[in-house]
Structure 1
Amino acid sequence: MTAKQICVIGAGVSGLVSAKTFLEEGYEVTLFEKQQGLGGVWERSRAYPGLSIQNPRDTYAFSDYPMPASYPEWPSGEQVCAYLESYAQHFGVTEKIQFGAKVTKVERKSGNTPRWMVSVSFQENGKEIGKQNYEFDFVIVCNGTYDIPYIPNLPGMEEFIAAGGQVIHTNNFNDDSVIEGKRVVVVGFGKSATDLANLAASKAKECTLVFRQALWKIPNFFLGLFNIKYIFLTRFAETWMPYHKLQGWEKWLHSFGKPLVWAFWRLNETILRLQFPLDACGMVPKQPMNKLIGCSIGLIPKDFFEHVRAGKIRAVKTKINKFFASGVELDNREQIQADVVVFGTGFLQDIPFLEEKYHRHVFDEEGTIHLYRHLIHPHVPQMGFVGYNSIRFS
């Protein structure tokens, strides 16, 4: 009997492990990747200077393929990409990948044995060099939640670009010469935004960080002593967060013991306010830490708050209202001269190639994804989704 044909779309972390798993089970696997290299968000063309992971090394590794012991506690983006390349090579996934292969349409083909028709556009240097259709028994969508960079459509942007200004998303920032000696505005307060503002503090002529709300940021080491993995990545830390069905000690803790929970999180906030000059920088978040711990807390680059306090990064809590020929106008009517505007404004979530009648099942009118256990939809046959249990923040 011929092995079933499996299509995997996307050669990021999710796509690689999906392909590896199906190969081990004896299936025929084809993996389509629109970039010229594997890695997804870690692919080299998408990595900005200084990119590193937020997790300690051993918590960001495949269980059956540890990261090299020579790697530092927080590996760089380059090291993570090399690790993923090594993983793919070790498990025979690399030879199954077709690079520069952008999936343009996935349609259900009717008949006695329904299959998926996958249309692929092969591209090189941004130009199409060929097309081809394939048929598969099962499709695994791994295009990721960080695939479509979001840049808000603001008035005057075209005028700014026509006058020589540059507008870049952090996803496409891979050369720091773009900001060297320039007047730079960075938009956002996620990890990529603060990373690039920190880079601009030393490379650019001047740097302004525009953000709508401050978020809690954590150091690699609490008080310069304790690795964050012993603070937030333990079962002890998990007990301070409520979940669906509380039992035993945790049930008591989140009912009668609520004052202890309150004190635990306020203690962490106080430590951060002492370790970082949050008050002096005017960057104390309004939301309590325990309201954001699951989605909006990230590592802060070294010396970021010191750069803000010293004026190397001018932080303005507002939003951009519009562009003009030589810069941006903020919502408070202030005008800032700029040569480069870098948006760290996250990503849109979509599966643009999925046939419309199935797309309507997966996404509602507000763009929210609906999947059972983040993996399948009962009305989308013979298709799985891997990597959709994440969030859209950058």
Structure 2
Amino acid sequence: MRNITMVLAGRARSVVTPPDRRLFTGLDAAGFEQIRHAGFAVACGRVISVPMTSGNRIAIVGAGIAGLAYAKVLSREGFPIEVFDKAPDVGGVWSATRRYPGLRAQNTKRTYRYSDFPMPEDYPDVPDGAQMQAYLEGYVHHFGLGDSLRLGTEVVAADPVDSGWLLEIRDHTGIHRASCDHLVVANGVFSEPSIPDFRGDDLYQVGGGQLLHTSQFHDLESVRGKTVLVVGYGKSACDVAEAVSHVAASTRVVARRLMWKMPRKPGLGLDYERLSLTRLGEAHFRYHRLNRFERFLHGKGRSFRDSNFDVMRELATKKMLLRELDLVPSGRFEEIAQSTVGLTTEGFYEQVRDGRIIVHRDTTVTEMLSTKAGPAVDLSDGQRVQADVVLCATGFQQRVPFLTPYVQRRLTDEDGNFRLHRHILPVEVPNLSFAGYNSSVLSQLNAEVAAHWTAALLQGRLTLPTHEDMIAEVDERLRWMDAGTGGHHAHGTAITPFALHDIDELLRDLKYRLPLRTRLAQWVRPVKPASYRGLGAKSHAAPSGPATVEPQREPQRSRADLS
């Protein structure tokens, strides 16, 4: 090995370069010295040119659902790829290092999957966190992605040059240099925990209290017999509270604002997927560009739409005993799908009914304390409650910390919203794509179709709008998202409930279409990911009109196939 001094954005570092780093050793000593002497002042807005020794090399940062979809699609399209993830295993939010007790998939195994890799038949209807991670491991094995993975390896800096990117990576042996022609950011919109700054949190922890984000909480036994307070009322808050309530001395949930939630089976023969994963279900929510039926539904047919929401609100209220528990949200029921879909955690309301979970509605934490009786928390409703452990289900920050400030400023607007064409392509930064920044209830499928879109872009098979038109489209979409969600859309990265709209737009760009019978079925039946299985087979066609993605028969699989 040899030591090289590396100057990145004005920061001098000692870099150990191992003799063999597979794909990403594209800079020879002369090229690297060129960078060092130039000073590489990207942070000040100056980008220099660096020659690459080979083309089309792609680095993917993140080995979660989206990163793996991109790895499979791009490698099958012939691109040399390498996938970096600081975790020791694949999975992203499903990694053993991040998943919390009680974590389960939101959808069933029939819809929360890749198009060409069904979940095992012997999986339960709704897989848990460990099963999801095993499924993703099986995906890696089935498609031979293992040799492209660099797990336990963090990308700590990525600096743009005219011909691609320079990467600074860190693993157990030290810091190394790497380069690529195109960078795919798949670090996830749920990767950096957001914990509020509570007054007195330092004294609370000095006094023995534990303050954790739900993604940092992995062991139920650690809270056995303790008093636990969960901050939040979203899916992770209710998942964790329900799991904890079976072992903790007491479990409380502090909800600043109650949100509507949907039972998996609300009644009248309906189920969650039939309501939320169909074209008819999506049409009930106003997209920024309406088709003919949607114009009717939000115009002359609005009474039909509103009556459907009224029925669903009443079914949900009765199913979850919300009136009896004084947990009826004050907002409109259609707010159930604003960048996320509120799905009921099985057993949560039963635990509230039985007194094992206490919900403090319309309440916030005002101060954390260390008292003679032990760690405690003051609430805005005037109560002081003992809390040995506070678990924050308070969301995530959408940031890309390894990109330079100069690049980050060009990626986002003044509110931190990502300015991405089709949620993929930055309008101001070249040689860069984003994967998974179209988070939805069909995350695998949205990521997979986006990967095909990116492959077509890199191969020159995609016709983009003008730069001005892309900027106008991004501005229009962000204004619509702000208006429809009150600004709560994960900085432009969450597209629920419009997963199918997103897929349709990408397919139109690719000039592909599903068979008419499939599109018609999707109006009233939950989408089948396998319907999109043939997309890759059409990737190099150049038809005069739209190509049809024909469904293909898929094999039955069992849990043993994942090993």
Common fold by TM > 0.5: yes
Would you say 1:65 and 2:117 are equivalent positions? yes
Would you say 1:324 and 2:376 are equivalent positions? no
- For the 8 Å contact 1:190–1:296, the answer to whether it is kept is no
TM superposition shift of 1:43:
0.6
- For the 8 Å contact 1:19–1:29, the answer to whether it is kept is yes
TM superposition shift of 1:253:
2.5
Partner of 1:168: 212
Partner of 1:344: 393
AA partner of residue 262 (structure 1): D
Classify the secondary structure of the residue corresponding to 1:231: helix
Q: Once the two structures are aligned, what percentage of the paired residues are identical?
A: 34
- For the 8 Å contact 1:109–1:116, the answer to whether it is kept is yes
AA partner of residue 63 (structure 1): S
Alpha-carbon distance in structure 1 between the residues aligned to 2:67 and 2:282: 29
After superposition, where does 1:151-230 map in structure 2 within 5 Å? 151-223=195-267, 225-230=269-274
After superposition, where does 1:299-318 map in structure 2 within 5 Å? 299-317=343-361, 318=363
TM superposition shift of 1:21:
1.4
- For the 8 Å contact 1:211–1:319, the answer to whether it is kept is yes
Would you say 1:122 and 2:167 are equivalent positions? no
AA partner of residue 100 (structure 1): G
Alpha-carbon distance in structure 2 between the residues aligned to 1:366 and 1:291: 22
Partner of 2:406: 357
Alpha-carbon distance in structure 1 between the residues aligned to 2:269 and 2:100: 28
Alpha-carbon distance in structure 2 between the residues aligned to 1:29 and 1:248: 42
Would you say 1:368 and 2:420 are equivalent positions? no
TM superposition shift of 1:3:
5.0
After superposition, where does 1:95-134 map in structure 2 within 5 Å? 95-110=147-162, 114-123=163-172, 129-134=173-178
Classify the secondary structure of the residue corresponding to 2:289: coil
- For the 8 Å contact 1:9–1:33, the answer to whether it is kept is yes
TM superposition shift of 1:55:
1.0
AA partner of residue 348 (structure 2): F
Alpha-carbon distance in structure 2 between the residues aligned to 1:254 and 1:299: 24
TM superposition shift of 1:365:
2.9
Alpha-carbon distance in structure 1 between the residues aligned to 2:270 and 2:309: 17
Residue among 179, 187, 190 paired with 1:135: 179
Would you say 1:298 and 2:347 are equivalent positions? no
Q: Deviations over 1:249-269 (max 9, x none)?
A: 432232122122111101100
TM superposition shift of 1:28:
1.3
TM superposition shift of 1:377:
1.3
Residue among 263, 273, 279 paired with 2:323: 279
Deviates more, 1:131-140 or 1:299-308: 299-308
- For the 8 Å contact 2:261–2:336, the answer to whether it is kept is no
Partner of 1:80: 132
Residue among 44, 51, 58 paired with 2:96: 44
Q: Unaligned stretches of 5+ in structure 1? A: 124-128
TM superposition shift of 1:213:
0.9
Bigger Rg, which one: 2
Q: Unaligned stretches of 5+ in structure 2? A: 1-52, 440-488, 495-563
Q: Deviations over 1:52-103 (max 9, x none)?
A: 1001212111111111122222111111111111111111212111111111
- For the 8 Å contact 1:179–1:200, the answer to whether it is kept is yes
RMSD over equivalenced CA pairs, Å: 1.7
Alpha-carbon distance in structure 2 between the residues aligned to 1:245 and 1:28: 37
AA partner of residue 371 (structure 1): L
Alpha-carbon distance in structure 2 between the residues aligned to 1:253 and 1:232: 16
Residue among 368, 373, 384 paired with 1:335: 384
Deviates more, 1:23-32 or 1:184-193: 23-32
Classify the secondary structure of the residue corresponding to 2:295: helix
Residue among 418, 427, 430 paired with 1:381: 430
Classify the secondary structure of the residue corresponding to 2:245: helix
- For the 8 Å contact 1:166–1:341, the answer to whether it is kept is yes
Would you say 1:231 and 2:283 are equivalent positions? no
- For the 8 Å contact 2:191–2:397, the answer to whether it is kept is yes
Q: Residues 231 and 292 of structure 1: is their aligned pair in 2 closer, same or farther, counting only changes over 3 Å?
A: closer
- For the 8 Å contact 1:54–1:298, the answer to whether it is kept is no
TM superposition shift of 1:198:
1.0
In the TM superposition, structure 1's runs of 4+ consecutive aligned residues that sit over 4 Å from their partners are: none
Alpha-carbon distance in structure 1 between the residues aligned to 2:101 and 2:425: 36
- For the 8 Å contact 1:3–1:27, the answer to whether it is kept is no
AA partner of residue 186 (structure 1): V
TM superposition shift of 1:134:
0.3
Partner of 2:74: 22
Classify the secondary structure of the residue corresponding to 2:103: coil
Classify the secondary structure of the residue corresponding to 1:217: coil
Partner of 1:242: 286
Q: Deviations over 1:11-39 (max 9, x none)?
A: 00111111111111212111110000000
Alpha-carbon distance in structure 1 between the residues aligned to 2:386 and 2:268: 37
Partner of 2:25: none
AA partner of residue 413 (structure 2): D
Partner of 2:535: none
Alpha-carbon distance in structure 2 between the residues aligned to 1:296 and 1:31: 28
Alpha-carbon distance in structure 2 between the residues aligned to 1:225 and 1:252: 26
Alpha-carbon distance in structure 2 between the residues aligned to 1:224 and 1:250: 25
User: What is the TM-score of this pair, normalised by structure 2?
Assistant: 0.66
Q: Residues 258 and 115 of structure 1: is their aligned pair in 2 closer, same or farther, counting only changes over 3 Å?
A: closer
Would you say 1:256 and 2:300 are equivalent positions? yes
Deviates more, 1:235-244 or 1:137-146: 235-244
- For the 8 Å contact 2:193–2:397, the answer to whether it is kept is yes
TM superposition shift of 1:224:
8.7
Give aligned pairs, total.
385
Alpha-carbon distance in structure 2 between the residues aligned to 1:219 and 1:53: 14
Classify the secondary structure of the residue corresponding to 1:280: coil
Alpha-carbon distance in structure 1 between the residues aligned to 2:119 and 2:271: 19
Q: Residues 230 and 115 of structure 1: is their aligned pair in 2 closer, same or farther, counting only changes over 3 Å?
A: closer
AA partner of residue 165 (structure 1): G
Alpha-carbon distance in structure 2 between the residues aligned to 1:252 and 1:78: 44
Classify the secondary structure of the residue corresponding to 1:143: coil
Deviates more, 1:190-199 or 1:64-73: 64-73
